[in-house]
Amino acid sequence: MDWRVTAVIPEGAAPAESIVDSVCAALTVDQEVLLACVTSRLEFGMWVAHGATVVVTNQSLMVAKDRLLGRPKANKIIPLLKITHCGVGPLLGVGPTWEVTFRAEYGSQGSMYFAGPSQAQQVESALREAVSGLRAEMADPDLAQLNRSLRTARAQPEGRAGESLSPEQLIDESRKIRQQFSSGHLRTVWDRRAQLGYGIASEGVPQPDRFWLDAIPAIAALRLGLKEHPMVAMCCGVAEAGQDRDDPEQRAAVEEFKRLYFG
C-alpha cells in the first residue's frame, strides 16, 4: 500500500515524496511504512547525516542522506529488533530544538533532531510503537501471521471487477490468464485475479475455464511469495473443490499449489 496512506507524516517534518518513493521501491511486499519524516540531523554512533529522510517500516529504521546526484537510497538500515529504548525531550533540557533518542544493542546511541515538540513526539511515538509491535509479533506467532495477512491485503486490496462480467467475459479472462502464465507473467496474472475479486459466478462458465481462473493465479501468487494474501487461500479452496479429478492436468495443478502453500 502507498506509504502516504500507512505512514505517520509529522506536520512540519514531511519528507520529499520522491526520496521516500525511491527508498520504498526496494521494500519487500511484507514491509509496511509506518513513519516517514525528515530530520535536520541524525546521528548513530559516529555516523552522521544532515537533512536526512527517515523511513520506519514494520521491520527497520532506514535513513537516506540528501543527494545531489543519483537515485536516493537507504544509506543506513537499523533493524527494529536491535532497538532497545526510545526517548524524546528538549535538547539539553531547554530546547528549542527537540531530540528523539534511541538506543540499540551493544550500547549504540542514535539521535534525531527536530524544530519543536510536536514533530519529535510524533516520531518517537511511531518508532516506539513499531518496535513494540515487532517484538509482540516475535513473541506470538499467531499475531505475526495475522499481521502479515493484513499487511499483504492492504498492499493489494481485492477488486470487484469480476462481479459484473458475463460468462463469455469470464471465459476470456480465464484463457488470457493461462496464456500470460505460460509466458511467465506471474505478477500480471495475480494482479488481474485480485482485480476480479471474490464475487465471480460459475453459472454458464465451463468447468475447465472456471477451474483455471482460480488455480493458475493461486500458483502464480504462491511463486511470488504472496501466500499471506487472503485471496490466495480462497483461490486454492475454490479450485480444489471444483476440480475435475479425472483431468490429470487439473490434478497436477492442485498438487502444485498445495505443495507451494503447505511446503
Q: How far apart are CA 188 and CA 180, in angstroms?
A: 7
Mean pLDDT (whole number) for 81-109: 90
pLDDT band at residue 157 under the 50/70/90 scheme: low
Please tell me the predicted confidence (pLDDT) of residue 235: 94
User: Which grid cell sits at 83?
Assistant: 532497538
The domains located in the chain, with CATH, are 3-155 (2.30.29.30), 161-262 (no CATH)
Q: How far apart are CA 18 and CA 29, in angstroms?
A: 19
pTM score, whole prediction: 0.62
* DSSP class of 205: S
Nearest to 239 by CA among 168, 148, 222, 156: 222
Q: How far are the Cα atoms of 23, 53, 67 from residue 70, in angstroms, in the given order?
A: 13, 15, 7
Give ∠ CA 98-102-108 in degrees, rounded to 5. Answer: 125
Q: How far apart are CA 247 and CA 38, in angstroms?
A: 58
Question: What are the strands, taking DSSP E only, across the chain?
Answer: 33-44, 47-57, 60-64, 76-79, 83-90, 98-104, 109-114
Please tell me the predicted confidence (pLDDT) of residue 150: 65
Tens digits of residue pLDDT in 111-155: 999 999 999 999 999 999 999 989 888 888 877 676 666 666 665
Give 164's Cβ-side CA count (13 Å radius).
4
Mean pLDDT over the full length of the chain: 90
Tens digits of residue pLDDT in 233-242: 999 999 999 9
Please tell me the predicted confidence (pLDDT) of residue 158: 64
